[in-house]
Structures are given as structure tokens and as C-alpha cells.
């Protein structure tokens, strides 16, 4: 049943891409100290989100198609991509490695490249390597700074890596939700040591709280109470300062905390 559902979603996404302008990145994926494969990302924008599919080893014996989401950043001249679900494959392996990473545009703005990490369906590390694409003009425009604030870039948040955002208003909106498979991850949130969201389970519907800030630096702590059915505990998080929006994705083990610093 899951295979039928995934295929149906793929057909719907292909139909949507066919009806709008899409972006195709056609390059290579190289496994660490191993082989290089043809690798393609095809995405279209729908309601502010870039989604589509990847093709690995097109026309080859291991040809594999996977759904993917992409975010482009003008401020960081980069793109973040994450494969999500298997669509089809010719490979004989029983397990699959879903890849994702952050790719940076080079100085000449004709190439985007970077490292990727792979996770299996249980979110265990299963590979790493590099990806590189020649840049079509449409993708280049989405990664070239034009003076406007970047409100679409998502950063990775762990207990080792925090993010700092500067805002202009004393009250901002914090939203948390599960952007993938809902697997009963639970969190708590504190602001400057005070609980603003007691223990709750993240789902696809966004959990929202308004944060009243003090002058200077404000510390938001996201704590994982468990790792749900599929480790690690993962959540999509946005901080909205009126028209400016900042996005992060947290990956935490049980009892770990991630930090967001908000400077007002």
C-alpha cells in the first residue's frame, strides 16, 4: 500500500512540475573513496516550497528515483536538499540510503557543489560523499544575493551547532512541527530559562508560541524528551519577526538540547 501511495504522490508531483516552470540540476554524485554516478534534481515551486524528485544513475543498472525537497538561499549563496522517500529503483540492494546536504555556489557562479550525508530508513548514517551541479540560470538567480533578506534558508540545528538570528521587534513568533513522518517525537521549549512550551508531541500541524524578548541576547532551548519511533528526534522550526522568517531543522537524541540565540 505504501508503494502505491508513494507512486501516486510521485505522479502528482510530476504533473504539477509539468504545469509550471521547473528547475533541473544535472550533475554527479560521488561516494567517498568510491564510484561517481549521474545525479539529477528536478524541482518546481508550489506555495513557496521547492519539491520534486532526484534520479541517481539514470539509465544505469542502479537507477533510483527519490522524492526531494530543496531550499535556496540568496544570503548564503547555497542550496539545501534532502531526499525523502523512495519512488522506484533498479538496484538489487534491500536497503536504501537517502542523501541530503548543503551545496555552495562557487565564485564564478557557474557551479554549485558540496558534501552530502546519507541516512537509511532508521536514520542511521549509511554513506557520505560530494555532489556537484553546473548551474542553470534559474537556480543561479535563487542563490545570488540582491540585497533582500533571505527568509527561506534552513540551517541544521544539533546540540553541537546553534543558530543566531537578529530581530527588530520585541515579540517574535516561534513555530514547531514535524515536516516528515510523524513518529511521536516530544519536545519542551524554554526562553531565557523559563518554560514557554511544556512537554508536547510535534505533529504536522504547527505548534505556535509568541516569544517576548528582552533587549540583547535571548536564549531559546529546544529539548528532546524522546526519539519517537524513528531516531533521532527531528523538528522543523521557524522564528518569524513580522515579515522576516528564519528556518532551522533540529536533530537531537533523547535529553539533548539545541540552542537558538535571538538578538533584539
* pLDDT tens, residue by residue, 93-142: 767 889 988 898 988 889 999 988 888 877 777 888 899 999 999 899 88
pLDDT of residue 107: 83
Query: What are the boundaries of each domain within the chain?
Result: 2-142, 154-263
**20 vs 130: CA distance, rounded Å:** 30
pLDDT of residue 189: 97
Which pairing describes strands 217-224 and 257-263: parallel, antiparallel, or unpaired? Answer: antiparallel
Note if the bond before 232 is cis, omega within 30 degrees: yes
Would you call 124 helix, strand, or coil by DSSP?
Answer: coil
- Bridge partners (DSSP) listed for residue 121: none
Residues of the chain with pLDDT under 50: 1-20, 150-153
**11 vs 226: CA distance, rounded Å:** 35
pLDDT of residue 8: 38
Which sign does the torsion angle of CA 142, 143, 149, 155 carry? positive
Q: Name the helix (H) or strand (E) containing 38.
A: strand 36-46
Quote the Cα angle for 251-72-113, to 5°.
85
Quote the Cα angle for 146-179-231, to 5°.
125
pLDDT of residue 180: 58
Q: Is 2-142 a CATH 2.40.128.120 domain?
A: yes
pLDDT of residue 1: 37
| CB 114, CB 103: distance < 8 Å | yes
pLDDT of residue 9: 44
| CB 226, CB 182: distance < 8 Å | no
- The dihedrals phi and psi of 107, each to the nearest 5 degrees, come to -60, -35
Rg, the chain, Cα only: 19
pLDDT of residue 29: 95
Burial of 145 by CB count in 10 Å (0-12 exposed, 13-18 middle, 19+ buried)?
exposed
Q: Which of 208, 257, 209, 207 is nearest to 232 (CA)?
A: 257
Q: How far is CA 217 from CA 54, 61, 209, in A?
A: 40, 54, 19
pLDDT of residue 198: 96
Amino acid at each position: 500500500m505504501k508503494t502505491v501511495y508513494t507512486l501516486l504522490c510521485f505522479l502528482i508531483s510530476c504533473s504539477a512540475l509539468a504545469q509550471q516552470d521547473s528547475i533541473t540540476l544535472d550533475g554527479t554524485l560521488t561516494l567517498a573513496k568510491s564510484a561517481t554516478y549521474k545525479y539529477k534534481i528536478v524541482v518546481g515551486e508550489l506555495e513557496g516550497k521547492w519539491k520534486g524528485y532526484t534520479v541517481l544513475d539514470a539509465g544505469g543498472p542502479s537507477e533510483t528515483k527519490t522524492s526531494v525537497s530543496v531550499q535556496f538561499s540568496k544570503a548564503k549563496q547555497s542550496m539545501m536538499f534532502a531526499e525523502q522517500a523512495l519512488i522506484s529503483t533498479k538496484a538489487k540492494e534491500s536497503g536504501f540510503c537517502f542523501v541530503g546536504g548543503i551545496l555552495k555556489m562557487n565564485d564564478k557562479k557557474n557551479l554549485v557543489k558540496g558534501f552530502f550525508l546519507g541516512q537509511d530508513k532508521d536514520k542511521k548514517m549509511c554513506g557520505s560523499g560530494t555532489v556537484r551541479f553546473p548551474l542553470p540560470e534559474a537556480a543561479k538567480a535563487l542563490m545570488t544575493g540582491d540585497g533582500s533578506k533571505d527568509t527561506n534558508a534552513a540551517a541544521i540545528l544539533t546540540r553541537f551547532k546553534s543558530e543566531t538570528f537578529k530581530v527588530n521587534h520585541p515579540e517574535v513568533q516561534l513555530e514547531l512541527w514535524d515536516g516528515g513522518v510523524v513518529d511521536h517525537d516530544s519536545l519542551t521549549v524554554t526562553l531565557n530559562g523559563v518554560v514557554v512550551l511544556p512537554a508536547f508531541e510535534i505533529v504536522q500541524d504547527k505548534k505556535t508560541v509568541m516569544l517576548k524578548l528582552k533587549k540583547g541576547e535571548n536564549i531559546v532551548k529546544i529539548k528532546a524528551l524522546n526519539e519517537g519511533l524513528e531516531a533521532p528526534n527531528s523538528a522543523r522550526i521557524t522564528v518569524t519577526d513580522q515579515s522576516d522568517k528564519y528556518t532551522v531543522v533540529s536533530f537531537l537524541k533523547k535529553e539533548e538540547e539545541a540552542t537558538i540565540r535571538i538578538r533584539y
